[in-house]
Structure 1
Amino acid sequence: MPSLELKTNVPLADPKPFLLEFSKFAAATLGKPELYISVSYHYNENLTFHGSFEPAFLMTVTSLDNLTPALNEGYSKAFFDYFESKLGIANDRGYITFLDPGRVNLGYKATTFGTIFGK
């Protein structure tokens, strides 16, 4: 169920191709079927980082059961490398927040994952 919300000051003429590619990359990186991946792109020309408007990003990754300190280190490297390659954002110009809300705190199909899969 991973969802990835990307906020950046890097404009994309047409974000749809980027998002489709990013969805595949996120699935491979997180080891989850793309069927369960949700990605979003929010352009904000007013996003600053380190006191400048140079290319930057903020991202929140919300996922169940596969966010650990050791795994997050690898995910962080992969995503920072990806954004540098695809968006031209240096690896010191962003933050990634990793969140695991717990199964009982994530709704799906008019219930929660806690009910679907057990707590």
Structure 2
Amino acid sequence: MRVAREPITEENARGTRHSDPGVATCVSALWRVTMPYLEIATNLTKEKITPEILTNLSKLLSAILGKAEQYCVVRVIPDQLMTFGGSSDPCATALLISLGKLGVEENKGHAAKIYEFVENSLGIPGDRMYIQFFDKPSSEIGYKGTTFHQLLGR
């Protein structure tokens, strides 16, 4: 068993180098699988949200964040009473939550791919949706009866 020479921190888990390559690999692997969540609320009807759209959104989320799809959660909430810019034409709001893999530069790429998917698959133009990005601390996300803070060791 390899003993870490320095503490495993959230920063290490987010991809910075750990002095012990074995520990860095283990922590990096755990970090890659943790908890992306994409929610889209829209005024489109339920009938327009097909299982294929959900499946493809899940694959997209996994790909853009580089995280295992088995941990990805996608939720589309249709039939919302909502307007955008005073109009009830098709519109949406989106929420992307992740432990890591979000930031100033990363979000630009994520936004481009999510907007493209939403416009092509749901017909909602890019100027009729906002996306909020939340890079959550590991202590604020629960999993398997604890938090990722405990699972990651910090």
TM-score by length of 1: 0.94
1:27-106 → structure 2 map (5 Å cutoff): 27-106=62-141
**One of 143, 148, 153 as aligned partner of 1:108:** 143
5+ residue gaps in structure 2? 1-34
* Structure holding more helix per residue: 2
Instruction: Assess if the C-alpha contact under 8 Å between 2:100 and 2:136 holds in 1.
Output: no
Write the distance in 2 (CA, Å) between the matches of 1:83 and 1:103: 29
Instruction: Assess if the C-alpha contact under 8 Å between 1:2 and 1:38 holds in 2.
Output: yes
After superposition, the Cα gap between the structure-2 partners of 1:54 and 1:64, relative to the gap in structure 1 and judged at 3 Å, is same
Larger radius of gyration: 2
Question: 2:16 is matched with which residue?
Answer: none
Runs of 4 or more above 4 Å deviation:
none
What do residues 47-99 of structure 1 show as CA deviations (whole Å, max 9, x unaligned)? 11011011111011110011111000110111011101001111110110111
The CA RMSD measured in Å over matched residues stands at 1.2
**How many residue pairs get matched?**
119
Identity of aligned residues (%): 36
SS in 2 for 1:70: helix
What do residues 1-58 of structure 1 show as CA deviations (whole Å, max 9, x unaligned)? 1011110112242532211121111111221110110001101341110110111110
SS in 2 for 1:86: helix
Question: 1:7 is matched with which residue?
Answer: 41
